Structure 1
């Protein structure tokens, strides 16, 4: 069975009629310029170019544009499901769930990749497989979604209501438009939860073995943020054959397809070079060693920080080039500097004005710059407090096992081989 099952109390809450206050709240929370006229009754599929020079229909992304009545109903249903997502969706998924954060997966991915990049001994190698799901939101089969929701324990009447929203649609192609409705992200989470259940089944029979970053750490086999998927397992052909079979079953059942051309693998250091090439070719993906990103951040950081953040620096300087084409006032230049100065090199230089003066407020003859060391410390403290307040989060459990197994968070030590996090 899939993860945690829905209980009777939850189904009663989901089937409860909406109140006037709930409808007003949902309507008020909508963007005032994103709802068409009430007389519009069709749901359009708007194709927005995903490429600069699209040539085929495949090169476009369908995005839904619906009338205000449909948006109101879907938002009410989504709001009613939101409080129960934390119990329905496994801890490996951190997208769209109010109590979870994208940084949870980033922290876990950093620790696991750090473990892989520093594993020189032991005969058992490990592999991290980054999967790219090809237009995942647009490919889910309706019958698969219906079957998954029933397996999760949702009442048949509520499932019928969801499928009515999904199926009772007429489509036509348009150019340019806005984003989709409120139900789609949550429904996709249910479909991906089926994939998590398939991974857990393979673990139970011993076909896939998880990665453990230290002796007392929880084992990790997969991380997901919506359709961003990371799989961790042993680096041998038998395990990878089980993984490929699992992916094939998921593709056939759900309709979602894996884009192997954009997928990649990272292997631990104790795997020989020719073996790494063989395993990457066996799956049909490229092998990466550095400068790969996960959720927008570099997943592997080596000794050269300059090389890792070279792409970020290049983006910053491209933004700064607008100074040559725009006549910015002194205030405008100050705002632009504040938006990009965090990404510049921090080498000590001689400044014409003291930094303490620049950090003063504008009414005190300063430029209102933030004191970045204090700002950084505040953000780190906020993240630390969030982890301490949610000890059930996988990231906290791994960090605790790695850095403070016998003490509390405030007494944690970095140890002899810490990651950059």
Structure 2
């Protein structure tokens, strides 16, 4: 009798409707809310890219960096007083959106690349808040989330994902199957509800003064479009985080602690129908409160090789996603590489060819070609080569593509130099060009 009574009265689980535990201590809040200083303004400005796109006045960060001895006191006083609440942030938080065409004669919005031009004074203020928040961000965000947290890299996610997917593909025996769910987040930054951001920050334990400063940065923004050199009327958003704002990445992170790298999400789970239904319900609740939209039609799911057909179909039905034999890419890299490595990495050659086709009509000097090769082409290759050892045949193909671009004459004639006769290792004096 006593055993039955103890079993009935045993507490197996507790439901917490809050969902988020406070993680910001009094000491952290004290550091966050201490008065901003002149030195912080100087440090923030020095860390900004000098030639990045500036606002319509044309005064980029390089202007303030070079003439700091003249304007420094006025800029620092304004930024510090604004953070104290003495100045309105609306006047400096106006963003001009310039549309850069991706194709000739564009007609649709998808054929443009929007560039946001923000006021440098606002960016200094936002960056000062971001610098303080960055110091404690690793305590607010789960280890599964590697975006924007100091000491965590995108490489961590790629290596872990590749190893897990590889082991799932090779797992052919056993009753315990697993699946990997890759989510498609539609306009992740643009759909974030401001009220959700504020509630998350307050629940995590940030004090009202800090939350107020952050929300002033988020909610005081206004936009205007620049078309054909003319500035349109201002319009005011009601939600969303602006990409390019220094503080936006640090606000997006705490909301998705278990959704790996910003809006790129890869979830692993055992093949259990109940577990799949819990994932679906959790994602729907998250989307409802945050304003995010998860496009399940464009999401994919990959099963380990030992999962039976009927179980795969049942899990896909619960989640509402399509079953895929290969997740194709993760962060722009192949999620799985089989025996035919040449086929897996053939897209690298296609990337270089596409990029070079847009340069072929330009009259470039040898110096101009060298800059493009170093800054663009080699950067494309290095990203992949950080994770994979490319086959020698693929490397030769890539070298040939770059060499043809380097030696090609302005009139289209081929170069007369045999590459093998003129190059040597970098350690022996080669400057890195083909």
Pair 1:120–1:158, CA change in 2 (3 A)? same
1:138-153 pair list within 5 angstroms: 138-153=190-205
Pair 1:96–1:42, CA change in 2 (3 A)? closer
Correspondence for 1:183 among 225, 247, 251: 247
Unaligned runs of 5+ in 1: 197-222, 371-421
1:307 shift after superposition: 2.2
**Rounded Cα–Cα distance in structure 1 between residues aligned with 2:356 and 2:99:** 29
1:251-290 pair list within 5 angstroms: 251-290=287-326
Tell me whether 1:130 sits opposite 2:182 in the alignment: yes
Normalising by structure 2, what TM-score?
0.67
1:28 shift after superposition: 2.6
Render the CA deviation track for 1:256-289: whole Å, top value 9, x for unaligned.
Answer: 1112233111111011235434433442323222
Tell me whether 1:18 sits opposite 2:36 in the alignment: yes
Aligned residues: 339
Q: Contact conserved, 2:273 with 2:314, CA < 8 A, in 1?
A: no
**Rounded Cα–Cα distance in structure 2 between residues aligned with 1:363 and 1:331:** 21
Render the CA deviation track for 1:290-327: whole Å, top value 9, x for unaligned.
Answer: 36111121111222212211222222334455786566
**Rounded Cα–Cα distance in structure 2 between residues aligned with 1:328 and 1:40:** 43
Other-structure match for 1:35:
54
94-103 vs 39-48, which deviates more? 39-48
**Rounded Cα–Cα distance in structure 1 between residues aligned with 2:125 and 2:316:** 46
Other-structure match for 2:423:
358
**Rounded Cα–Cα distance in structure 2 between residues aligned with 1:368 and 1:237:** 55
Render the CA deviation track for 1:80-130: whole Å, top value 9, x for unaligned.
Answer: 111111111111011111211111111111121122111111212111001
Tell me whether 1:166 sits opposite 2:218 in the alignment: yes
1:167-316 pair list within 5 angstroms: 167-175=219-227, 180-193=244-257, 196=258, 224-290=260-326, 292-316=328-352
1:243 shift after superposition: 1.1
Pair 1:31–1:4, CA change in 2 (3 A)? same
**For the aligned residues, what is the CA RMSD?**
3.8
Other-structure match for 1:84:
136
**Rounded Cα–Cα distance in structure 2 between residues aligned with 1:50 and 1:128:** 37
Bigger radius of gyration among the two: 2
Pair 1:23–1:302, CA change in 2 (3 A)? same
Other-structure match for 2:125:
73
**Rounded Cα–Cα distance in structure 1 between residues aligned with 2:161 and 2:368:** 39
Q: Secondary structure at the match of 1:127?
A: strand
**Rounded Cα–Cα distance in structure 1 between residues aligned with 2:373 and 2:114:** 37
Q: Contact conserved, 1:290 with 1:301, CA < 8 A, in 2?
A: no
**Rounded Cα–Cα distance in structure 1 between residues aligned with 2:422 and 2:102:** 46
**Rounded Cα–Cα distance in structure 1 between residues aligned with 2:216 and 2:156:** 34
**Rounded Cα–Cα distance in structure 2 between residues aligned with 1:322 and 1:64:** 24
Q: Secondary structure at the match of 2:222?
A: coil
Q: Secondary structure at the match of 1:271?
A: coil
1:42 shift after superposition: 4.8
Other-structure match for 2:410:
none
Q: Secondary structure at the match of 1:172?
A: strand
Pair 1:68–1:320, CA change in 2 (3 A)? closer
**Rounded Cα–Cα distance in structure 1 between residues aligned with 2:173 and 2:219:** 54
Render the CA deviation track for 1:206-246: whole Å, top value 9, x for unaligned.
Answer: xxxxxxxxxxxxxxxxx511111111112233221111111
**Rounded Cα–Cα distance in structure 1 between residues aligned with 2:364 and 2:182:** 43
Unaligned runs of 5+ in 2: 1-18, 60-89, 232-241, 401-416
